[in-house]
Amino acid sequence: MNDPASFDNFVLSYQDMVYSTAFRLLGNESEAEDVAQETFVRAWKHWAELGDGTSAGGWLKTVARNLCLNHLQRYRNRWTLFTDLRRADDEESPEPDIVAPDDWEEATLTADQRSVLNAAISALPRDQRVALVLYHFEGLDYVAIAEQLKVSLGKVKTDIFRARAALRKKLQPLRETVGV
């Protein structure tokens, strides 16, 4: 690395995107900051390839996502017994009866409401939040998510459905004001 200033600019350009990816997946500020730091340290090690900036965004997002999933996997391994016991119940229990709104096309959130939305995502149970973020923010399909998280396809679908339903419930006050 010959030019620290250009690396600083690189970090400043992408830090919000990397931090947001980590925070959405981990739901924890401190862990998200650790993952963001590790992502940029890896970028520094690969600076020769990333310096031109053409594919840096995608590279950083992928590295941050993989680091988060590794982190979550390590955490989950400590509680495998309990999560396995709970998973069986989750897959068998019926899905909640939440109906999609008809008037969502025109919904536009204000800045305050967007903050409420972020808080609502963070407050989701971990399995639901991770599956929802991978599907809606990272653009993975159900099968890819099941493979990444090493869980069944049914569990992924159930988690995402429940996450959406929980978001609907939490955003109910917003719906009354802007039709979400």
Partner 1 sequence: MNEHESNDGRMARWADQVLSQSPLQQAPATLLPRIRAAVVRLQSLPWYRRPWLQWPLGWRLLSVGLASAASAAMSYWGLPQAPAVGSPADLVPGYHPTVTLASACATVAHGLFHALTHAGTWTVAIVLAVAGTLWCLSLGLGTVCWRLSVRDN
Q: Which residues bind partner 1 (CB under 8 A)?
A: 1, 4, 7-8, 11-12, 15-20, 23-24, 29, 32-33, 36-37, 40-41, 44-45, 98-101, 104-105, 107-109, 111, 114-115, 117-118, 121, 132, 136-137, 161, 164-165, 167-168, 171, 180
C-beta of 37: minimal distance to partner 1 in Å?
A: 5
Contact present, 156 and 131 (Cβ < 8 Å): yes
Task: Tell me how far, at minimum, the Cβ of 5 lies from partner 1, in Å.
Answer: 11
The Cα diameter of the chain in Å comes to 58
Compute the half-sphere exposure of residue 82: CA atoms within 13 Å on the CB side of its CA.
5
Question: Taking the complex as a whole, how short is the minimal distance between the CB of residue 176 and partner 1, in angstroms?
Answer: 15
Nearer to partner 1, 17 or 69 (CB): 17
Q: Please identify, using beta-carbon distances, which residue of 16 and 80 lies nearer to partner 1.
A: 16
The distance of closest approach from Cβ of residue 164 to partner 1 in the complex, given in angstroms and rounded to an integer, is: 5
Nearer to partner 1, 52 or 105 (CB): 105
Cβ proximity to partner 1: between 151 and 168 the closer is: 168
